[in-house]
């Protein structure tokens, strides 16, 4: 194997100096402390990207997909099921068994996101300082145990504490997976992988709808039950308790598998040999973001706060999640106000989840196979949501709120396209933010917005407005409009920066010379942010 001719040479005092000339368009020679170098930098030095056989790179990608993606998909599915277990268990007597009255049940849902919100900053810091896979797997173990002990809660106070802690530990998954994406896959590969694991929300929703339908069918048709033994338990624990025990046990077993099989970095992957590890690092080095740097850098924190992208993504996240209540905890209530009976409210949720699942996979495929289409796909998905929300606001509902119910039902299903915009906004962090401290802080800001939106959303459903919920539907329409505007602003901001850098580098289009490309990759492996690395180009 040929030794890589690196432009980095060791210098006294634990300082690394860039010895090769740097193109004037990209900046002058720089000093890089050892803490600036990527955790996978030594492996990166051992191979030049130009020596990698494309067939070899495809084989490494195949191995990564087959080993990493199932772990991400299973974990994402279970974290959704665990936080939504209260919805499934409620039909088995959860509210009665825990003495929940009035708004107690609604608050038990909101408190989850309060915990999620509180945990964002410490989770982001620890994801940088600790091995990523071990931290995510350890968090999964804890939330599995929290799910198992839920039956011990006898009142609202117990449920509130349990849900708050569950939110704290599940807060690790989303930002952690965004970081994992940038460690293992190139820019063009990330949308398909992210939307694939994110689509597990739709699968979980389908399972939940089928379970709810089966439970409601038990009195007349017991053979339809997905979990028939739960519906027929007559002794021992209350039936609702078994839901938590079953899902919690599955999560515990899965968390152990995750800890065993999920590597922290490409350099520690047991399913790759030494040569393949080098190829895996070189593949993602072309992102100009590096793999991971575990040193927290204050200047990147301040740059994150000053970066327009941070605040655009923050507002987008809030706007995308305010309508989420209509797609999750209030769906059954909404369908009931349309005039459907209790059984129908269960299975009529399934088409919306199918729309979510299919739209996510389609958007991921388009974004991965056609360059610079992410914002366009987000805009299309958001515009569908705007039209659907306008139908919910504008269609006549009659004196009892039951007119035009099928038209409004289809509009509600189409609102599931909102997942397209939010999921691809996550790739804006994984693909368009460099500097590990800055990346994890930007992700934290995005998920703070996610929590704020999910806390606000349920409050727009005002009991006194039932069955019309006028304020909620207007809030949904305004949120989708705001989100659409923010996507357009983000697109034009990044396009303008790319164009300015292209002019400064004296290149045509968005291409860089071979020397400039090499220097941009080198700076990425030195944990340089996308604002400081003039060879960085945003993926649109």
The pLDDT of 38-66, averaged and rounded, is 72
* Local structure of residue 172 (DSSP, 8 states): T
The residue with greater pLDDT, 88 or 81, is: 81
Higher pLDDT, 417 or 21: 417
Among 51-65, 114-128, 366-380, 512-526, which is the least confidently predicted range? 512-526
Top mean pLDDT of 71-75, 204-208, 503-507 is at 71-75
The reported pLDDT for the residue numbered 228 is 43
Distance of alpha carbon 89 from alpha carbon 382, whole angstroms: 33
- CA distances (Å), origin 238, targets 92, 97, 160, 222: 8, 8, 20, 18
d(CA 26, CA 24): 5
| Three state DSSP letters for 289-344 | CCCCCCCCCHHHHHHHHHCHHHHHHHHHHHHHHCCHHHHCCCHHHHHHHCCCCHHH
Residues 110-137 pLDDT 10s: 888 899 989 988 888 888 788 889 999 9
Answer whether residue 14 shows pLDDT above 60: no
- Mean predicted confidence (pLDDT) in 358-387: 93
CA-to-CA dists, residue 501 to 211, 462, 482, 497, 506, angstroms: 54, 50, 29, 6, 8
pTM: 0.78
pLDDT in tens, 265-309: 888 889 988 888 888 888 877 766 656 566 788 888 899 999 999
Residue 295 is predicted with a pLDDT of: 73
Supply the DSSP symbol for 151.
G
Q: What is the pLDDT of residue 523?
A: 66
Q: Is the sign of the CA dihedral 481, 308, 120, 123 positive or negative?
A: positive
Position 5 pLDDT exceeds 90: no
Q: ∠ CA(264), CA(268), CA(272), 5° rounding?
A: 120
CA 200, CA 211: separation in Å to the nearest integer?
Answer: 16
Contacts of residue 494, Cβ cutoff 8 Å, sequence gap at least 6: 309, 375, 432, 538, 540
pLDDT of the residue at 292: 57
Read off the pLDDT band of 495 (50, 70, 90).
very high
- Copy the structure tokens of residue 150: 């839920």
Lowest mean pLDDT among 85-94, 197-206, 474-483, 495-504: 85-94
User: Is pLDDT larger for residue 532 or for residue 384?
Assistant: 384
Greatest CA separation found in the chain? 81
Kindly report which listed range (150-159, 256-265, 454-463) carries the lowest average pLDDT score.
454-463
Q: Is the pLDDT of residue 507 over 60?
A: no
Residue 11 dihedral angles phi and psi, to the nearest 5°: -130, 160
Q: pLDDT tens digits, residue range 442-480?
A: 988 998 999 899 888 878 887 788 788 888 899 999 999
Closest CA to 352 of 321, 378, 385: 385
For the four alpha carbons of 231, 234, 240 and 243, in that order, the dihedral sign comes to: negative
- The helix or strand, by DSSP H or E, that contains position 8, with its residue range, turns out to be strand 8-11
Task: Decide if pLDDT at 108 tops 90.
Answer: no
Res. 89: pLDDT tops 60:
yes
User: What sign does the CA torsion over 453, 329, 106, 83 have?
Assistant: negative
Location of structure tokens 């173990």: 141
Residue-level pLDDT at 13: 39
DSSP reduced 3-state for 366: helix
Percent of the chain whose predicted confidence (pLDDT) is above 70: 78
Peptide linkage before 467 cis (omega within 30 of 0): yes
Angle at CA of residue 155, ends 153 and 160, nearest 5°:
75
pLDDT at 276: 87
Residue 491, Ramachandran bin (φ over 0: left; ψ between -120 and 50: alpha; else beta): alpha
* Gap between the Cα atoms of 356 and 415, Å rounded: 9
Q: Kindly report which listed range (41-55, 86-100, 391-405, 452-466) carries the lowest average pLDDT score.
A: 41-55
Residues in Cβ contact with 149 at an 8 Å cutoff, skipping those fewer than 6 apart? 162, 248
d(CA 140, CA 243) in angstroms, rounded, equals 18
**pLDDT score at 378:** 94
Reported as a pLDDT band with limits 50, 70 and 90, residue 175 is: confident
pLDDT tens digits, one per residue of 398-440: 888 788 889 999 999 999 999 899 889 988 888 888 888 888 8
The mean pLDDT value for 135-148 works out to 93
Helices (H), 348-417: 350-369, 374-394, 405-414
Q: Which of 465, 445, 454 is nearest to 401 (CA)?
A: 465
CB 360 within 8 A of CB 420: yes
Task: Please tell me the predicted confidence (pLDDT) of residue 36.
Answer: 55
Which residue has tokens 């974990």?
75
Quick one: CA torsion of 420, 422, 425, 427, rounded to 10 degrees?
A: -70
pLDDT 10s digits, 316-342: 999 999 988 666 767 777 888 888 876
Q: Which residues contact 433 (CB under 8 A, 6 or more apart)?
A: 289, 309, 439, 442, 443, 529, 530
Chain-centre distance for alpha carbon 497: 26
User: In this predicted structure, what is the pLDDT of residue 431?
Assistant: 84
Token couple for 494: 């990044």
Output the pLDDT for position 45.
61
Position 57 confidence tier, pLDDT thresholds 50, 70, 90: confident
- Which of 401-405's residues contact partners 24+ apart within 8 Å by CB, and which partners? 401/337, 401/338, 401/339, 401/467, 401/468, 402/337, 402/338, 402/339, 402/467, 405/338, 405/339, 405/340
CA 500 – CA 490 distance, rounded (Å)? 16
Q: What is the pLDDT of residue 326?
A: 66
- Provide the CB-side half-sphere exposure for 406 (13 A, CA): 0
DSSP states along 422-478: HHHHHHHHHHH--SHHHHHHHHHHHHHHHHHHHHHHHHTS-GGGTTT-HHHHHHHHH
């Amino acid at each position: 194997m040929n030794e890589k001719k690196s432009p980095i040479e060791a210098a006294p005092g634990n300082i690394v100096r860039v010895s090769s000339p740097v193109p004037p368009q990209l900046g002058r020679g720089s000093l890089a402390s050892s803490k600036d170098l990527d955790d996978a930098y030594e492996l990166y030095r051992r191979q030049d990207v130009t020596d990698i056989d494309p067939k070899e790179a495809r084989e490494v990608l195949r191995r990564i997909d087959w080993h990493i993606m199932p772990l991400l998909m299973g974990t994402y599915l279970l974290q959704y099921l665990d936080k939504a277990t209260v919805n499934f268990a409620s039909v088995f007597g959860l509210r009665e068994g825990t003495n929940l009255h009035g708004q107690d049940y609604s608050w038990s849902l909101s408190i989850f996101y309060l915990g999620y919100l509180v945990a964002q900053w410490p989770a982001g810091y620890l994801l940088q300082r600790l091995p990523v896979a071990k931290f995510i797997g350890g968090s999964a173990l804890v939330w599995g145990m929290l799910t198992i002990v839920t039956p011990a809660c006898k009142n609202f106070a117990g449920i509130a504490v349990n849900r708050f802690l569950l939110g704290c530990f599940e807060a690790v998954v989303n930002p952690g997976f965004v970081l994992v994406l940038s460690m293992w896959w190139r820019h063009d590969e990330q949308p398909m992988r992210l939307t694939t694991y994110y689509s597990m929300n739709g699968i979980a929703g389908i399972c939940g709808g089928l379970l709810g339908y089966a439970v409601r069918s038990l009195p007349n048709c017991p053979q339809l039950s997905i979990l028939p033994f739960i519906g027929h338990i007559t002794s021992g624990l209350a039936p609702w308790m078994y839901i938590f025990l079953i899902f919690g046990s599955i999560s515990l077993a899965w968390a152990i598998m995750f800890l065993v099989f999920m590597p922290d970095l490409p350099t520690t992957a047991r399913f790759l040999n030494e040569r393949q590890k080098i190829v895996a690092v070189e593949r993602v080095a072309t992102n100009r973001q590096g793999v991971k740097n575990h040193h927290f850098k204050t200047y990147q924190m301040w740059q994150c706060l000053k970066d327009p992208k941070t605040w655009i993504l923050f507002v987008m996240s809030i706007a995308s999640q305010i309508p989420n209540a209509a797609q999750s905890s209030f769906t059954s209530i909404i369908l009931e106000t349309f005039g459907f009976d209790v059984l129908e409210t269960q299975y009529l949720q399934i088409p919306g989840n199918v729309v979510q699942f299919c739209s996510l996979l389609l958007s991921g495929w388009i974004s991965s196979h056609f360059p610079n289409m992410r914002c366009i796909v987000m805009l299309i998905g958001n515009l569908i949501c705007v039209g659907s929300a306008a139908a919910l606001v504008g269609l006549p509902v009659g004196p009892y709120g039951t007119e035009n119910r099928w038209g409004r039902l289809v509009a509600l299903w189409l609102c599931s396209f909102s997942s397209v915009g939010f999921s691809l906004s996550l790739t804006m962090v994984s693909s368009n933010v460099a500097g590990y401290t800055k990346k994890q802080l930007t992700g934290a800001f995005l998920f703070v917005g996610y929590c704020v939106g999910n806390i606000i959303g349920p409050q727009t459903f005002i009991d006194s407005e039932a069955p019309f919920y006028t304020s909620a539907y207007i809030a949904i329409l305004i949120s989708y409009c705001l989100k659409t505007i923010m996507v357009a602003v983000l697109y034009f901001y990044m396009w303008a920066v790319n164009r300015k850098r292209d002019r400064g580098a004296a290149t045509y289009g968005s291409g860089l010379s071979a020397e400039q490309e090499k220097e941009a990759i080198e700076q990425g492996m030195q944990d340089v942010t996308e604002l400081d690395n003039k060879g960085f180009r945003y993926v649109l």
